Amino acid sequence: MKNKDLEDLKMKLAKFAQDRDWDKFHSPKNLVMALAGESGELVELFQWLTESDSQNLSDKQKHRVEEEIADIFLYLLRLSAKLDIDLIEVANSKILINEIKYPIERCYGLSNKYTDL
């Protein structure tokens, strides 16, 4: 069963694009490029912060991060709708795959990639 809130958000986002005649621009390729751009904007907000600073954002910094995360989420949601991908289903599937790749007894406390364990 699909998440109702996520489906409602997909529909709201599709209507937003349709009302502005933007659907014609929302090809998977263009959405991926927009997603990469928004990810870059999020990276920029953290670029020169220390580890400590990144964990203790000011209210203004946190607001800007929230806006970029929302942009990323909305582009990802729009892309998933265009490609008929159930985000919840594939995310749960990926967690199961990662549990196999990263068994607790081999990777606990380590940051190594699974190929280097």
Q: What are the pLDDT digits (tens) for 23-41?
A: 999 999 999 999 999 999 9
CATH number, domain containing residue 22: 1.10.287.1080
Residues 52 and 94 in one domain: no
Calculate the CA dihedral of residues 20, 36, 69, 73 and round it to 10 degrees: 60
pTM here is 0.89
84: left (phi over 0), alpha (psi -120 to 50) or beta: left
Q: Is residue 108 helix, strand or coil?
A: coil
Q: Is the distance from CB of 51 to CB of 42 less than 8 angstroms?
A: no
Band of residue 112 on the pLDDT scale cut at 50, 70, 90:
confident
Residues 76 and 106 in one domain: no
Residues 97 and 65 in one domain: no
Domain with 58 in it: 4-82
Band of residue 2 on the pLDDT scale cut at 50, 70, 90:
low
Residues 63 and 95 in one domain: no
The average confidence (pLDDT) of the chain is 95
Residue percentage of the chain with pLDDT more than 90: 88
**Tally of domains in the chain:** 2
Residues 54 and 8 in one domain: yes
pLDDT at 78: 97
Residue 95's contacts (CB-CB under 8 Å, 6 or more residues apart) are none
Band of residue 1 on the pLDDT scale cut at 50, 70, 90:
very low
**How far is 23 from 4, CA to CA, in rounded Å?**
23
pLDDT at 114: 79
Residues 70 and 104 in one domain: no
Q: In the structure encoding, which two tokens stand for residue 31, read together?
A: 């959405």
